[in-house]
Amino acid sequence: MPQDESALASIARARKTPGVALDDVRGQPDMRRLRAYRLDRVRQQLKKADVAGCLLFDPINIRYATGNRNMAVWTLHNAARYCFVATEGPVVLFDYYASRHLSEGLETIDERRSAISWFFFGGGPNYRDKCKRWAAEIADLVTAHGGGNRRLAFDHCDVTGVKALAELGVEVVEGQEPLEYAREIKSDDELACMGAAISVCEAGMARMQEALVPGITENQLWAKLHETNIAMGGEWIETRLLASGGRTNPWFQECSDRVIRAGELVSYDTDLIGPFGYCADISRAHYCGNGRPSDEQRRLYRLAWEQIQHNISILRAGIGYREYAEMAWNIPNSCVANRYGSLLHGVGLCDEWPKVTHLDTLLENNDDGVLEAGMTVCVESYIGEEGGNEGVKLEEQVYIGEDGIELLSTYPFDENLLGREV
């Protein structure tokens, strides 16, 4: 039986209704205000860099500048979409074929065009000719909106593209630096988005801990976090950093089909991109089974916990990177070889600047920066003896405010491993 026109209209409307988590309603982030804040941050940095604008390929940078997303993981390695942001002028999104409708209604985007996919997979053997057409279109935008400035910042650009633009008088300059500096300072709306991501992440962590019984594999345990994230509106997870038993030392071994046994430690690092595209980067370690952890397991866990607690306690707005590294917790000599590479790093839509390393490696990275109010950072610890059997990974997510710090991650530490009887 045919449906009447009003019923069809209702069905069509329902099919276009966004999820509740994406609505601007009371108690949720003001997404329009958030987008305006982020785009303004980008343009402030472009002015400092003295460029006509930037061309962004990294989907995370495009998301930050415009609020728009489309196949983020795929476009991390396929340059199938890009966005021109004029320092003073329009934002032009070049989206993947037949995808321009995905940015309809976004006030941050002034014009939508189809991207020219000149990378080899998109262009094949004729990619150089496609690249010339791409470069001509970008050069026209620089001419129209650069005010005579021919410098254009790129977060990524292949050699062929750089040469094609140079032939048209466009100077390609570093673009990731201004974007990293733009993303350093978080607004209240960003903190609300991050809080939603952390809530989802910690729900997944709870399900992982509940499922941690002898006989489960590392992959099966890790899948609990993925399932929770996707089911609750999250997006993806950047790594697979979960290991058990002897695979916990050294760190950076990704999860496998290894069966977890009773009496072993399990350590993991979430690296989760949750709702609104914000990152929850939290690490914990747990003991598998109902027995009592060994004295060595407790010792390792306690050391990692002490490092985290001390390094959080010295956080404050205005402290320099070098001063922070000098005041950081002293890692036992037997654990230095396996230590985590940084003391802390920024976090937003992913791991971000700043990055503060250990004192002996600070100079080769950056030793003259200052931690500022409005930054969100992750404080890191990995404790594992060189040549030892197991290791412990812990990490907390923290907001640095004008008047102090706020712990954003809330998942409890393992009291049994801390050696405090419960």
% of the chain beyond a pLDDT of 70: 92
Domain parsing of the chain, residue ranges: 5-183, 188-418
pLDDT digit string, tens, across residues 30-43: 999 999 999 999 99
Q: Is residue 11 packed enough to be buried (19+ CB in 10 Å), middle (13-18) or exposed (0-12)?
A: exposed
d(CA 133, CA 106): 27
CATH number of this structure's domain 188-418? 3.90.230.10
d(CA 15, CA 148): 46
CATH number of this structure's domain 5-183? 3.40.350.10
Q: Is the pLDDT of residue 17 over 60?
A: no
Judged by DSSP in three states, 152 sits in strand
pLDDT at 284: 98
Q: What is the mean pLDDT of the segment spanning 270-299?
A: 97
Q: Is residue 422 packed enough to be buried (19+ CB in 10 Å), middle (13-18) or exposed (0-12)?
A: exposed
Q: Is the pLDDT of residue 9 over 50?
A: yes
Of residues 294 and 104, more confidence is placed in: 294
Q: Is the pLDDT of residue 25 over 90?
A: no
Task: Work out the mean pLDDT of the chain and round it to a whole number.
Answer: 93
pLDDT digit string, tens, across residues 167-204: 999 999 999 999 999 999 999 999 999 999 999 999 99
pLDDT digit string, tens, across residues 321-370: 999 999 999 999 999 999 999 999 999 999 999 999 999 988 776 678 99
